[in-house]
Amino acid sequence: MANEVILLDFWPSMFGMRTRIALREKGVDFEYREENLRDKSPLLLQMNPVHKKIPVLIHNGKPVCESSIQVQYIDESWSHKNPILPSDPYQRAQARFWVDFIDKKMYEAQRKVWASKGEEQETGKKEFIELLKILESELGDKPYFGGDDFGYVDIGLIGFYTWFPGYEKYGNFSIEAECPKLIAWAKRCMQRESVAKSLPDSEKVTQFIADLRKAFGVE
């Protein structure tokens, strides 16, 4: 049976990036379709009626929603190469815990860094840096979050890296100064073809943030 894989996505989405990376890790051919979030396609609304959000992975006509769920689905459906989750149940539980942590905490925290000003921004910055430090501590001296091999948590976090220069610009701080090991880890991930191909230029993302700030009247 032919594998038809479509990804409904939005280029700066750090969540969409996860699914792109996972598909490329597995060598899966897919059709990337850019969504205009202010004018969502009928297909998007049909395939994700509950949340109406990207990314949506459509595999042979059947939708899978939520990026962390998509990455697990991809790992299970194309299990022949580049395992994404570890095989040991305890390691798997740890990996899931950290992606869940990123899902629950990172988005809101990073948003405050560029979408607010004054005291709200300062609080947001502190929170965000604290989260990064927790993650950096979890990474420790390992090359990747799971150890020697690139995997689920790395995929879960790396998309945010393209937004870092934007956070630094609008938050007026240096992430490398705060979390040097995390930056080293990010650069290591960027050397991987699946990651390099799936992430947009940081400059483009920073410009996108500038446009959002104008649109929200933050400037």
Partner 1 sequence: MASEQVKVIGAWASPFVMRPRVALNLKSIPYEFLEETFGSKSELLLKSNPVQKKIPVLLHGDKPVCESSIIVEYIDETWSTSGPSLLPSTPYDRAIARFWASYLDEKWFRSLRSILKAEGEEEKKAAIAQVEEENSFIEKAFIDCSKGKAFFNGEHIGYLDIAFGSFLGWLRATELLSGHKLVDEAKTPSLSKWAEQFCNDPAVKPVMPDTAKLAEFAKKIFAKPPA
Q: Which of 29, 36, 42, 50 binds partner 1 (CB under 8 A)?
A: 50
Distance (Å, whole) CA 146 – CA 91? 8
Sheet strands (E) in 47-139: 56-59, 62-65
Least separation, in Å, of the C-beta of 77 and partner 1? 5
Q: Which of 33, 40, 92, 188 binds partner 1 (CB under 8 A)?
A: 92
Least separation, in Å, of the C-beta of 85 and partner 1? 11
Q: How many CB atoms lie within 10 A of CB 169?
A: 13
Select 104 or 187, whichever has its Cβ closest to partner 1: 104
Determine if 130 is a binding residue for partner 1 (CB under 8 A): no
The tokens of 57 are what? 């992975």
Determine if 202 is a binding residue for partner 1 (CB under 8 A): no
Least separation, in Å, of the C-beta of 208 and partner 1? 26
Stretch that binds partner 1, among 24-32, 69-77, 117-125, 180-188 (CB under 8 A): 69-77
Select 31 or 76, whichever has its Cβ closest to partner 1: 76
Select 41 or 91, whichever has its Cβ closest to partner 1: 91
Determine if 72 is a binding residue for partner 1 (CB under 8 A): yes
What DSSP string describes 69-85?
A: HHHHHHHHHSTTSS-SS
CA angle 48, 54, 56 (to 5 degrees): 60
List residues bridging with 59 in a β-sheet: 5, 62
List residues bridging with 62 in a β-sheet: 59
Q: Which of 44, 56, 65, 175 binds partner 1 (CB under 8 A)?
A: 65
Residues near 5 by beta carbon (within 8 Å), at least 6 away in sequence: 23, 28, 29, 30, 31, 57, 58, 59
Where on the chain is the footprint of partner 1 (CB under 8 A)?
Answer: 50, 59, 62, 64-66, 69-70, 72-73, 76-77, 89-90, 92-93, 96-97, 100-101, 134
